[in-house]
Amino acid sequence: MIGYLIGGLVVLAVAVIGLYISYNNRIVTLANRIEEAWAQIDVQLQKRFDLVPNLVETVKGYASHEKEIFDNIAKARAGMVSGSRQARVEADNVLTQALGRLFAVAEAYPDLKAQANFKLLQEQLEGIENKIAYARQYYNDSVLSFNNIVTTIPGVWFAGGRGKHDFLEIPDEARAVPQVKF
């Protein structure tokens, strides 16, 4: 009888240890997925960072009086080079707003819209923007999976003090349609 009791306790201990290892590995995997997702966002932001000067120079020739837009783009690009993850996200939001205004200005210049170089740059930027949107979605999906496992039972028991991650959110001011006045 005592042998069965000891055997049962051993099986229970092995099951708990197995469960701990399984959940710990899952939590580590999800945390790594969040870091990988952020790296993908960073890659796409860098591509956009590299493309923007060419686009700005193309538009500058047509809209030289729109200095504020060009200054905002330059400031946002500078903010994306260094700083914390949150600072880079904020600089990206400023850049997104400035690019929206840049394209609104471009709408006022039919010759610019018809220029092949501008069209190519605009298409490249559109492709990068789509990739950034997908990377942000992937990041937020990864954060959701991680947050779910570290806040639900039994994962919370095995989380080892790991806290929730924050979602990437676009502030309302970055969603506004740019207003351009001449």
Express each pLDDT in 27-71 by its tens digit. 999 999 999 999 998 888 888 888 877 777 777 666 665 666 667
* Average pLDDT of the residues in 6-26: 89
Neighbours of 173 (CB within 10 A): 9
Write out pLDDT tens, residues 159-182: 877 888 888 877 665 555 444 443
What gap in Å lies between CA 129 and CA 63, rounded to an integer?
A: 23
pLDDT score for 56: 74
Residue 80: half-sphere exposure toward Cβ, Cα within 13 Å: 24
What is the structure's pLDDT at 99?
A: 75
The answer to whether 27 and 149 have CB atoms below 8 angstroms apart is yes
Angle between helices 85-107 and 67-81 (to 10 degrees): 160
User: If phi over 0 gives left and psi between -120 and 50 gives alpha, with beta otherwise, what is residue 161?
Assistant: left
**Residue 112 pLDDT class (50, 70, 90 cuts):** low
Q: What is the pLDDT of residue 143?
A: 94
- Mean pLDDT across the chain, nearest whole number? 79
Q: What is the pLDDT of residue 67?
A: 64
